[in-house]
Structure 1
């Protein structure tokens, strides 16, 4: 057998074929270590929920439709059941599908599923210091504080209803100005919902022609889409991408623009406010910061948290509500018989001399049912903001270690065949009993459920009902003449937005 001699001057890498040996070996070692970590983080436990076998490093990313992950997750539930696991990158997550599993976890075992996992895209955008992705005890205290402030300022009370009514009047004027011509509703509706949250947080509203607020609302809309697209899924799986070019760089720039915008109003409030007499959310937060400076508060209310919390209110208070309204109008031009029935009910109960109020909802059961069906069928947030187990949890016979990411598939709840008579159709009768009265449905969870339910739920309900009923009272909507009806296909993103479309608004009053 021939023997290979290695000279004294030859390096080990030369003898082993240089980098051609070391690079593949290191890559294989890295893949093995990541695969082992996946097993240790949940996938290797016999009591951990079953799921599709992950690929090393990539997990199940190649098996998931990253533009509409909820579709893939729903199909996987048909194979693995209502509680299963999936890897959207190196780490294993647990998916809950269907009303019973989601309710059991988020409502009946709310304490066990009350944490948030670290989501890289949101962490790097500083939203972990906000109100939605709170993880630490300090963050939970900020959330409780914010809820208390919003209630004090009137959220869910008549004082906020007056703000919504004022904005409804302004929105009606904008629609009237279109004089029956085809137009896209997005900017007008975004401004209406944006002004409601501006009144609560900044203590002011903006004119519908204000270029600055229009631009900022467009940024919010664009960012919500980017945070839920395929790139964001890849970014969350491989957060080292932060240091490389990509769409996330624009997100970081847009975040800073919003922070700069808010900082101007924070500085103005510091100069003009009366201590302990808050006019809005910013005043209340400054009062809380003053307590800390005086040694009365041990919680973290620093300026970064201030900006992050206020941004959370903007995002939660504009995009989802505005998008639901745009879906509602799209359904009305798609189903004109339903539009006519809503208008007949409003005409009969409210008449033409005043706007409908939230208090009218019991006397307007069909209108109330249509608003609910819009939220159910539009499925704005098909996947809830991720949860995490707060401790070691036994759930339906499976063991979930503390910190396990949990995905509540709200899409599967709102389309659960065991809960809805016609889950895949727009059917307002889902929310009406045999006598035509409005009925609540336990499986109606567009705002999620349990401890992490959307903190702006009561405000969103008020806005949706008042804006929608006021628009239908004053206008009839139809597609522009000669144009086909828009398709009911959502645009993918963190929320499912209505497709771009134009309509005509014909005055009734």
Structure 2
């Protein structure tokens, strides 16, 4: 009963805020958008599932810049490459912050990574430190780890191809953890892997705006945890514990190993960060060590599910388009000399394979919206007034499926990325990886891992749809989850080594 009264009070308080905001801005001109109801705005127009679909509809109806409100909160939907460049790039000082996220930042305390921090000095510090670790010039340092992990995956894949998704996950998780912490995992059931996946899942779920009432009525965060209907507070408490665990436990393991107090670890990102820390008695030691911990855990959290999703989408695309799979395999056979698997030496020559990777990332948009930005001050754009605190959503799915930019956008066409015999480098700076100053700084490392996975699978295996009792391939209908980080829905797949030669190479 008390919770009911709190909800009513929160609603009345919201009404007062909405009325005040309306009074202040009623004479300002906003971009076009859907009409809303009094007080609640467009809240009930946005479905809980596949919310991107209504956004896509609005963009087609109102244009590539759509404005609407939810309970008085202004929202700006950006739906074209031109608008992205104008706002996120040219006006990045205004459009680079994050909106208030009561559940994620205030209850779950997930406000200490540059992915969720508001734009400011701390964000710049963490972003700069992360970029130094994953700068393209540093990437060759990690290639031996990726190659070693790939060798293990090939052996496991050839031995038990029906477990291909586990082997895929093992490769990417193993590569990221070994690069970051110098730790080799035994299987996908390793506690660190499971804990990271749990935390990523928690953030992904909580980042959905309408998942928790506390994001609509922030006053609910003050409701006592013992009251009915406050399961979100118990979840937040567990999340804090799990996030602290994955941030501190592997870091401490490296720290102890370097002090000769535990099992040895391989040279890694964390060991290099620790070597560069100030002395124990330095006043900056505590903060710089915390920055190192945050950089390391951010690498795991950001890299796990995103690149795994892309790899699963690649397998799905090859099942759906065997002619493209065959063409990519033929290119590898022309470029790579007999007796070895493709590696980083061949990358610049595998034009079609690289185009396949680019098209996978466009065709299956891993982050249909990505995390929303927020304006840090009032702005005037093309005579439109964009108030401070506006939630700004880049509709990545619509942008990467714009028929004017990508003819036949639903078709899987690697050729669209090839210009003058080379793959356009623009795709690495496209909205696929984020916007403006918040573009993913680890994208080059992720694509290094994806390149190795794609080339190994094409060189060593056939990826096919299962067949029915008459030997006819079963039709696979591609479907994707509706989350901040989208995954292909489960699908059946048959993985077969490409002859005895491949099996011999894997065994070797």
Q: TM-score, normalization: structure 1?
A: 0.84
Q: Considering only aligned residues, what root-mean-square deviation do their CA atoms show, in Å?
A: 3.2
Q: Which residue of 1 aligns with 2:467?
A: 481
- Which residue of 490, 498, 504 corresponds with 2:488? 498
TM superposition shift of 1:210: 4.6
Query: Is 2:211 aligned against 1:232?
Result: yes
Aligned pairs for 1:364-375 within 5 A: 364-375=350-361
Task: Tell whether the 8 Å contact from 2:96 to 2:373 is kept in structure 1 after alignment.
Answer: yes
Unaligned runs of 5+ in 2: 224-228, 261-265, 503-508
Alpha-carbon displacement from aligned partner over 1:435-480 (angstroms, at most 9, x marks no partner)? 6543345684310232110011110111111111111100001123
Q: Which residue of 1 aligns with 2:156?
A: 174
Task: Tell whether the 8 Å contact from 1:373 to 1:431 is kept in structure 2 after alignment.
Answer: yes
3-state SS, counterpart of residue 129 of structure 1: coil
Query: Is 2:101 aligned against 1:103?
Result: no
Task: Tell whether the 8 Å contact from 1:224 to 1:495 is kept in structure 2 after alignment.
Answer: no
Q: Which residue of 2 aligns with 1:13?
A: none
- Which one has the largest radius of gyration? 1
Q: Which residue of 1 aligns with 2:432?
A: 446
Task: Tell whether the 8 Å contact from 1:197 to 1:313 is kept in structure 2 after alignment.
Answer: yes
TM superposition shift of 1:236: 2.6
TM superposition shift of 1:207: 1.5
3-state SS, counterpart of residue 502 of structure 1: coil
Which structure 1 residue ranges, 4+ long, deviate > 6 Å from structure 2?
Answer: 22-28
3-state SS, counterpart of residue 48 of structure 2: coil
3-state SS, counterpart of residue 211 of structure 2: helix
Q: Which residue of 2 aligns with 1:294?
A: 282
Q: Which residue of 1 aligns with 2:369?
A: 383
Residues 56 and 37 from structure 1, CA distance in 2 versus in 1: closer, same or farther, beyond 3 angstroms? farther
Residues 268 and 478 from structure 1, CA distance in 2 versus in 1: closer, same or farther, beyond 3 angstroms? same
Q: Which residue of 2 aligns with 1:197?
A: 176
3-state SS, counterpart of residue 342 of structure 2: coil
Alpha-carbon displacement from aligned partner over 1:324-378 (angstroms, at most 9, x marks no partner)? 0000001101111111111111111114422323342321111111110000000
3-state SS, counterpart of residue 463 of structure 2: strand
Unaligned runs of 5+ in 1: 1-21
- Which residue of 116, 126, 129 corresponds with 1:142? 126
In structure 1, what is the Cα distance between the partners aligned to 2:60 and 2:297? 38
Residues 423 and 249 from structure 1, CA distance in 2 versus in 1: closer, same or farther, beyond 3 angstroms? farther
Q: Which residue of 1 aligns with 2:449?
A: 463
Q: Which residue of 2 aligns with 1:270?
A: 255
Task: Tell whether the 8 Å contact from 2:59 to 2:66 is kept in structure 1 after alignment.
Answer: yes
In structure 2, what is the Cα distance between the partners aligned to 1:252 and 1:209? 26
In structure 2, what is the Cα distance between the partners aligned to 1:253 and 1:27? 26
Alpha-carbon displacement from aligned partner over 1:176-232 (angstroms, at most 9, x marks no partner)? 111x5x34x333222211122212321222122654244225424633552355753
Task: Tell whether the 8 Å contact from 1:155 to 1:459 is kept in structure 2 after alignment.
Answer: no
In structure 1, what is the Cα distance between the partners aligned to 2:345 and 2:72? 50
Residues 171 and 39 from structure 1, CA distance in 2 versus in 1: closer, same or farther, beyond 3 angstroms? farther
